[in-house]
Homo-oligomer: A and B are copies of this chain.
């Protein structure tokens, strides 16, 4: 018999007993990471490394997670670029070994700094652009249209204020300082 289920069983038998727990944890982290906008495999690979007392090779990783070597190479490379995983070389070994950066807080900070901050800044800029554009056309319009533009102007500047506050909050987070979400609330208080 060679159904998928049978193959799975066969596979299970050749795996260490703790593999199940390892995979559950890895998948949970994979979900978190995927939700957070990364590849699912990045979370899974990082977790397997994080749970391993010794550095691992790409071969071991692809064996553990049943991934092709190219998939491992791709996601692992990205993890290295994010500083979430480090290459290490063991003396007398040809292969590359990898270990997880285990300071999660540091990783979180880096992502917020590199990615979220950028994102919110871009949005901020776009709102400023839109405002400038409105200011340009305002003079060419009169009556109803001008009122309409003025309304939009006010609303966009509120969005602007919100994103700027968001930016400030992210900066504080990155700096490890205390955040007050109420700042967001007050950023949009009626004028």
A interface with B by C-beta (< 8 Å): 16-18, 20-22, 24-25, 27-29, 31-32, 35, 37, 47, 50-51, 53, 102-105, 108, 119-120, 122-123, 126-127, 129-131, 133-134, 137, 140-141, 145, 147-149, 151-152, 155-156, 159, 162, 173, 176-182, 184-185, 188
**Which of B25, B148, B173 has a CB less than 8 Å from the CB of A18?**
B148
State whether B105 touches A188 (Cβ < 8 A): yes
Least CB separation from A28: chain B residue: B126
Given the known interface contacts A29-B123, A53-B148, the answer about A21 and B134 at a Cβ–Cβ threshold of 8 Å is: yes
CA distance A158 to B47 in the complex (A): 12
> Given A31-B119, A50-B159, A51-B156, list of 6 further CB < 8 A pairs?
A18-B148, A22-B130, A22-B152, A24-B126, A31-B122, A31-B123
Q: Which of B18, B47, B181 contacts A179 (CB 8 A)?
A: B181
Contact A108 B184 (CB under 8 A): yes
Residue among A120, A126, A131 with the highest chain B CB neighbour number at 10 A: A126
Q: List 17 A-B contacts (CB under 8 A).
A: A16-B145, A18-B133, A18-B145, A24-B126, A25-B127, A25-B130, A25-B156, A28-B123, A31-B119, A47-B159, A51-B155, A102-B188, A105-B181, A105-B188, A173-B181, A176-B182, A179-B180
> From DSSP, what is the main secondary structure of chain A's interface residues?
helix
Instruction: Determine the distance from Cα of A182 to Cα of B175 in the docked complex, in whole angstroms.
Output: 10
Do B126 and A27 touch across chains, with their CB atoms under 8 A apart? yes
Residues of B within 8 A of A47 (CB): 159
A37–B33 Cα distance when bound, in Å, is 12
